Amino acid sequence: MHIHILGICGTFMGSLAQLAKSAGHRVSGCDANVYPPMSTQLEQAGITLIEGFDPRQLEPAPDLIIVGNALSRGNPCVEYMLDQRLAYTSGPQWLGENILRHKHVLAVAGTHGKTTTSSMLAKILDMAGLNPGFLIGGVPQDFGVSARLGDSEYFVVEADEYDSAFFDKRSKFVHYFSNRLIINNLEFDHADIFEDLAAIQKQFHHAVRTVSSSGTVIYPAADPNIAAVIEQGCWSQQQAYGTQSSEWQYRLKAEDGSSFEVMYGDQVVGVTWQQVGLHNVLNGLAAIIAAHEVGISLEQCCLGLSDFVGVKRRMEVIYENLGVTVYDDFAHHPTAIKTTIEGLRAKVGHDKIIAVIEPRSATMKLGIHQQTLSASVDSSDQVYWYQNASIDWDINALAEACSVPAKATADVEQLLELVSQAAAPGTHIVIMSNGGFEGFHRRLTECLGR
């Protein structure tokens, strides 16, 4: 079958393309901007790429068009596809019906931590010899790719609550036939498509309703927003974790979370790993529970986590020289920013932490999280806020509201100069953005390396 993908260079769609190719299909695709690293991955997989949306690329007609959720009415290819009545579907629906329907699906949902937890779970299953397939919204450094088909019955999927396509406004995860569903956390996000928290909870409950009675919903016992979802009805097994009343608990052995113990029944097994922060301990505990559910021993689970390297753009060290360390982090929500900086603070003690933040997610660009953003950086020593062209609210007021020294700028050149001058030995610089940040990461490391 010839499958053509509209919007192929996004992480999800690019990963989907590689799965389709591995499944034996002829795959091509297009996007507005075709550039590395995704373009390189796709070309190496033998996938034909076209830049732009000229409808002539749909002649002769492919057997099926998969439409990315970034595409909407008015796009030339979309209009041609509809006018010619060509066969089309959404990426999540194709994934569910063609890959996941026949797998034992371990899905990871939540406002943040999905990519990291999915990567941890895939690592555990892989080290246990299960050779799982996976599709993850980032690149696990343990595997070097964001997706693989695998040759076993198990498949790990990052289960996103964002909508599926312009013609299907349901969240992606309702298509996934989940056997084990992790819900890490639940907060208000994606203000461009959800009116309020209740609207998000409704979609999460739809996901819960798709889990079979023999499946399991795994969630932190202390999260009231998730509890409200479960209270709407759950027909599956439930596994809450993290509190003293829970069957699964943890105990920190190191304050920064780099070492902890997992307690289950009368078993106590330790993990010592490269990650830090209580949020990662909870991510790891959720991954352990899901893996244990499919028969992996607690000892094997903890061994897999201890060997887990991490995920690109999740506190990834991109520069280290003369006592200065620079991290690239994908943080897209105030809670993610807060927990990430707190984890680093616990690790580095009194060393200087500089946070450089581009509020780039759709929700933050709309100014929804202004009040909580200022408090999210309390554990840093200095913060620089970057006002990109899409932010039309008063970012200077945000800087003034911070409890630590803060400055806002719309000039990336000025930002580069400010951060470079502040980079003394013993400094940790965390660059936080879920986008390219106008090449700031590369330019900063080049400047520091001179």
pLDDT in tens, 103-160: 999 999 998 889 999 999 999 999 999 999 999 988 898 998 889 999 899 999 999 9
Distances (CA, A) of 44 to 28, 41, 91, 108, 402: 13, 5, 21, 28, 46
Give the mean pLDDT of 297-314: 92
pLDDT at 370: 65
State the pLDDT confidence band at 363, using cuts at 50, 70 and 90. Answer: low
CATH superfamily of 93-306: Mur-like, catalytic domain (3.40.1190.10)
Alpha-carbon span 256 to 353, nearest angstrom:
15
36 pLDDT exceeds 90?
A: no
Residue 136 Cα distances to 111, 166, 218, 260, angstroms: 15, 22, 19, 26
Structure tokens at 97: 């019906």
Residue 279 exposed, middle or buried by CB count within 10 Å (0-12, 13-18, 19+): buried
Average pLDDT of the residues of the chain: 91
E-assigned strand segments in 122-247: 133-135, 147-148, 154-158, 163-165, 168-171, 178-183, 216-220, 237-241
Name the residue among 67, 25, 22 with its Cα closest to residue 45: 22
Lowest-confidence segment of 185-189, 221-225, 237-241 by average pLDDT:
185-189
Amino acid at 163: D
Q: Which CATH superfamily is domain 2-86 in?
A: NAD(P)-binding Rossmann-like Domain (3.40.50.720)
Task: Count how many Cα atoms sit within 13 Å of the Cα of residue 393 in the half-sphere of its side chain.
Answer: 15
Confidence tier at 447 by pLDDT (50, 70, 90)? confident
Domain 316-448, CATH number (from 3.30.70.990, 3.30.930.10, 3.90.1150.180, 3.90.190.20): 3.90.190.20
Query: Among all chains, which residue has been given the structure tokens 């002769």?
Result: 60
Closest CA to 237 of 211, 271, 273, 202: 211
The per-residue pLDDT for range 42-61, each reduced to its tens digit, is 888 899 999 999 999 999 99
| Rounded Cα distance, 53 and 37, in Å | 20
The pLDDT assigned to 278 comes to 87
Mean pLDDT in residue range 222-241: 96
Separation between Cα atoms, residue 240 and residue 182, nearest integer Å: 10
Q: If you ran DSSP here, which 8-state letter would residue 24 be given?
A: T
Half-sphere exposure (Cβ direction) of 343: Cα atoms closer than 13 Å: 24
Both structure tokens of 39: 């373009």
**H or E, element range at 109:** strand 104-109
Write down the pTM of the prediction: 0.84
DSSP state of 311: B
First to last CA, the chain: 52
- Closest CA relative to residue 433, chosen from 354, 339, 364: 364
How much is the average pLDDT of 66-85? 97
Q: Within 13 Å and on the Cβ side, how many CA atoms surround 13?
A: 28
DSSP 8-state assignment for residue 388: -
Over residues 1-21, the pLDDT tens digits come to 999 999 998 889 999 999 999
Euclidean distance between CA atoms 397 and 415, whole angstroms: 17
Among 220-229, 373-382, 431-440, the range scoring the smallest mean pLDDT is 431-440
Q: Checking DSSP bridges between strand 316-321 and strand 324-329, what pairing results, if any?
A: antiparallel
- Beta strands 133-135 and 154-158 are parallel
Question: Six-digit token pair at 149?
Answer: 């088909």
Domain ranges of the chain: 2-86, 93-306, 316-448
Q: Which two tokens stand for residue 290?
A: 């899901």
Q: What is the pLDDT of residues 185-206, one digit of tens each?
A: 998 776 666 788 899 999 999 9
Q: Which of 388, 379, 374, 380 is nearest to 354 (CA)?
A: 380
